[in-house]
Structure 1
């Protein structure tokens, strides 16, 4: 389905599993951002392909205070300058992120969500269930506004293979800020695999709450399966969005991926 929302390793089965204001017209005409003043009005198409993009990570702190930042330098066509995208991961609570978190592992995950390419890995271990108990927050920023931003969050699923033993169980929850539309993979009968709206809150109905697999009594999908996909589009200009990822049940390792990005931007 398509819904509009406004809001501010091997296969996982083998793992121990952004104030309104008014100014005089004359003043406003001088308040032109540096990027606009220097870039003109020509926009260019950009594609972030995880397998080939120049991407590097840095870390500060340790343990639960560790901040990991990934920087992608996204090339554009002739006549344009690269767009710099940063992905900053922080942790709230006591889960730990794996060493592979916020990395690209093209050999292990060559076709995330059947998108045709690898993705950016977000992965937790030592899980404690519940949003308040622990969650990962990933802030995604671009060095200038982009329009028509599209990407897919893949592998949003659940695992209940362990039955009464929750050591391998999990149930993904994903939230995403901003004015966006999204599409989930259909499963027949007018239903979809991943339900919710990607906004924190009540989960009493399928059309509300974080994105999640419709049923937790399942075996985790393979990371190459499209069932756990949410395809996201930001039609308007965006420069800063935040993704929040957490677990609703069990203590098993969990992971999702961000596919490649496409968007338009000024070519400065």
Structure 2
């Protein structure tokens, strides 16, 4: 993947070859479609869309790329209350934010271009291994990202994009906590259940995809119940290194969800 963002210095050209995007229509999300009605009334259910590139969402990130806060206000000064989501990233073992050389850090930063064939920007997760090249740490080196809402949310849905691989460099693994359902865009290129025993993973150890236009590395996540937080775990399952840097990255699309409040 190429990690280009609005406020980051230009990264070196991506190693990933452009893969032919598999046509995959993004499902219509009922809670997202209801946002205009929610903006007109403060009553339940209140629907929200956290749009990383939209005017209804404000986002701040710390310089280290380890925390951020997004606030969604569907109707500005209107009666619908805003919702905030905080992001806290923890690096375990020989994993760190940004690229291996320390000159680019796009972790939890909004991308400057569209992601996963969605036509919209997304939130970047950018990390690199720091261990010796003859050591393959696997899951013991990982990033754990916790997303916490300031109100209970229901029907949360979003996409992870650009889950892929490049021989001798990276082989993405993604896991989520809690009770969720998933929809893989293309089962020829992506597999897994998104759990620790069976994480989302590319089906081929050397299958880079274009992070802007291809849907081949996409999976939709839905938390059908009511939650206040969830955790995403991200690690590198590459079996050996070829001497290139070991940075890797995925993206999250817009979030859609509803909130049931006690003031209606």
1:156-201 per-position Cα deviation (integer Å, ceiling 9, x unaligned): 00012xxxxx3xx210000001111111112xxxx43211111112
Residue 34 of structure 2 corresponds to: none
Q: Cα RMSD (Å) of the superposition?
A: 2.4
1:104 paired to 2:98:
no
CA contact (8 A) 2:4 2:111 kept: no
- 2: distance between equivalents of 1:226 and 1:113? 5
Higher share in strand: 1
Change beyond 3 A, Cα 1:116–1:260: same
SS at match of 1:136: strand
- 1: distance between equivalents of 2:125 and 2:234? 8
SS at match of 1:138: strand
Match of 2:127 among 124, 128, 143: 124
SS at match of 1:192: coil
CA contact (8 A) 1:184 1:192 kept: no
1:256 paired to 2:250:
yes
Match of 1:221 among 209, 231, 247: 209
Q: Which runs of 5+ in 2 are unaligned?
A: 6-10, 17-41, 99-104
- 2: distance between equivalents of 1:104 and 1:10? 9
CA contact (8 A) 2:172 2:202 kept: yes
1:56 paired to 2:60:
yes
Moved more, 50-59 or 137-146: 50-59
Between Structure 1 and Structure 2, whose CA radius of gyration is higher?
A: 1
Displacement of 1:127: 5.0
Matches for 1:30-41 after TM superposition, within 5 Å: none
Displacement of 1:241: 0.2
SS at match of 1:71: strand
Residue 71 of structure 2 corresponds to: 73
- 2: distance between equivalents of 1:136 and 1:47? 26
| Runs of 4+ that moved beyond 2 A | 9-17, 76-79, 125-133
Equivalenced residues, count:
210
SS at match of 2:155: strand
1:67-109 per-position Cα deviation (integer Å, ceiling 9, x unaligned): 7211000112442111000111110011221121111122xxx
Q: Normalization by structure 2: what TM-score?
A: 0.73
Match of 1:113 among 111, 116, 129: 116
Matches for 1:177-188 after TM superposition, within 5 Å: 177-186=177-186
Residue 44 of structure 2 corresponds to: 42
Displacement of 1:215: 0.9
Displacement of 1:57: 1.6
Residue 194 of structure 1 corresponds to: 190
- 2: distance between equivalents of 1:50 and 1:234? 19
